[in-house]
Structure 1
């Protein structure tokens, strides 16, 4: 199969994933405690009506679906970038402690400085960046060992999660809402959250796509990348910063959602290959699809009760992580 045919096939996979994402988004808006027809959904999107089912579509389900798409896509790209940086197939914003750092700062704002709520995602980026620096500095010893990164991530996660729990316990008011947020919930998101996240996500995704060639070169190994003129240390810092930014802004809005950044890159490489020109956009759509499905399951499985999407992803991702861990141990 020649390169042109292969590239065309990969492009078709991306187009197909976008079509599938659109279909799942419509289905997600349709399903819930109140079943809404597809006709009503289209009318609700296209018209300015705010009565009856239109209000449910526009004010509740539509922003929720948009945020699920953005968060899922952001976390998936974050996983792709982190796995390039540390050369570790188990790298994920949750496992590496980034989400815990971002969530600690977000909780600080929620319980102590609610007046800064509009800046929560950007400030969460600072928390995620500090957490990532701690994990990578602990794990680094003439290179990055997958085992050291996992152990350092577990340690930092435990420490920051404990601090988050202490803050939640001290703040007796609003404990329920903070706990739901910690579990990764999209139940209370609003249009303002969607608009803010869209702007930040657009910046992060566009920057990540400009790094596609660098990611390809770094995937060849440090020696090969250096011989081709890549400043390894500089590019590793830049790619890591973009990954932390995408994970942190998503955590600031949706709470801690694990395993999206772990599962999707593996699926993407299996289907579309390791060329980041295609892997980055394909991972975005696949991450969006995965999180949309998980959120829809959480909303509809035990109606009228709702399971936070973060817990649904933990149930899905836990076995996948164990499978990858056992496979990597066999290779050692």
Structure 2
């Protein structure tokens, strides 16, 4: 048995290495590909400060910050989805599907349209909206315990409610709506170094907190009664984990908008490969999420050039059939 356990750990670590390589590969391809292809040798020279010119300007001012933002967003949404699936005991939980992103989106759109001069408020207000949505869904779904179908139904209702609020804001401020359209779909266009600076502290803090909670999330999978018997404060753990998931989702939404399905697809793919041990599942989801969003964004901006699609469209095309497949299997 110990030998078998050692083999399992080695297999999981090997898969984490593979996911890390995929993430690095996704970043390199994202930097290389575009309307102006940049050779790998020039990328290395530009990063080391040994070159100047148009390629260096494109790399340092456009593609590199956009690629970093894509990686951070993939990490945040994937971790948020993995945590929500644990605390809500629902394999279909995802910050976009169950309405947490819509809560953050409504709060963000209010600031963006009604108070554009206070754009610095988008992040904290989006977090408050995401946390409020998560608590509302949890309360609506609670009836002698949590059942997956109730969370989905409560999430759909809450998402529709917040979606109506977003639509109303766009009607009231129709003269400013153009700036919010890309944000509504979920896109990385024009994301630059200020967005990297805004996002990285939340990504780092969310990743550390998620990894700290890995043991508690593992215990939570055993069921509430057994978890209490093992000394876990179930409701306090759920509240803390919900706050971390809301922080991760809100930070991503505040920068790229309502990007959906990342938190659904990636944790499931990681779970199929590395198992349900959150000590390995969380880093696997983070690495795979970064890779998926970077590859998807590269495809979105190059496949139909010179037209650039928002990455949210690509994720919806991938995610909607996947969600239907999971829904049929779970129900």
| TM-score bin, normalised by smaller chain | over 0.9
Residue range with higher mean Cα deviation, 161-170 or 43-52: 43-52
Q: Distance in 2 between matches of 1:106 and 1:51?
A: 38
Distance 2:46 2:163 in 1: 40
The aligned counterpart of 1:68 is 70
- What secondary structure is seen at the aligned counterpart in 2 of 1:173? helix
Determine if the alignment matches structure 1 residue 35 to structure 2 residue 59. Answer: no
Q: Offset of 1:115 from its aligned partner? A: 2.5
CA contact (8 A) 1:79 1:261 kept: yes
Q: How does 1:70-109 map to 2 (within 5 A)?
A: 70-109=72-111
What is the DSSP-based 3-state SS (H/G/I as helix, E as strand, rest coil) of the residue aligned with 1:2? Answer: helix
Deviation at residue 44 of structure 1 after TM alignment: 2.4
User: Which of residues 144, 161, 165 is equivalent to 2:163?
Assistant: 161
Unaligned runs of 5+ in 1: none
Give the Cα separation in 2 of the matches to 1:174 and 1:295: 26
Say whether residues 1:328 and 2:325 are aligned partners: no
Judge conservation of contact 1:18–1:285 (CA < 8 Å) in 2: yes
- Report 1:107-186 matches (<5 A): 107-186=109-188
Match of 2:263 in 1: 261
The CA distance in 2 between the partners of 1:66 and 1:190, in whole Å, is 9
In structure 2, C-alpha distance between the alignment counterparts of 1:53 and 1:177, rounded to whole Å: 28
Q: How much has 1:119 moved relative to structure 2?
A: 3.3
Which residue in 1 is equivalent to 2:238? 236
The question of whether the paired residues in 1 share the 8 Å contact of 2:113 and 2:177 is answered with no
Whole-angstrom distance in 1 between the partners of 2:63 and 2:170: 28
Deviations 1:158-182 (A, max 9, x none): 1111211221222233422211111
Q: What is the correspondence of 1:263-278 to structure 2 with a 5 Å cutoff?
A: 263-278=265-280
Match of residue 213, structure 1, among 190, 200, 215: 215
Task: Give CA-to-partner distance per residue, 1:19-41, whole Å, 9 cap, x none.
Answer: 22111111111111111111222
| 1:45 CA displacement | 2.2
Contact 2:126 2:251 in 1 (8 A): yes
Residue of structure 1 in register with 2:290 after alignment: 288
| Native 8 Å contact 1:260 1:287 kept in 2 | yes
Q: Please list the CA deviations of residues 167-215 of structure 1 after superposition, one character each: whole Å capped at 9, or x if unmatched.
A: 1222233422211111001002120111120111101110110001001
SS across alignment from 1:91: coil
Asked if 1:200 is matched to 2:202, the reply is yes
Inter-partner Cα distance in structure 1 for 2:63 and 2:167: 30
Q: How many residues in Structure 1 have an aligned counterpart in Structure 2?
A: 329
Structure 1 residues 45, 149: CA separation in 2 closer, same or farther (over 3 Å shift)?
same
Per the TM alignment, residue 50 of structure 1 is displaced from its structure 2 partner at its CA by: 6.3
Distance 1:23 1:45 in 2: 16
TM-score, normalization by structure 2: 0.96
TM-score, normalised to structure 1's length?
A: 0.96
Contact 1:49 1:55 in 2 (8 A): no
Secondary structure at 2:175 match in 1: coil
Alpha-carbon distance, 1:49 to partner? 6.0
CA RMSD of aligned residues (A): 1.3
State whether residues 50 and 58 of structure 1, in contact with CA within 8 Å, keep that contact through their aligned partners in structure 2. Answer: no
Deviations 1:27-82 (A, max 9, x none): 11111111111122222222186631111111111111101111111111111111
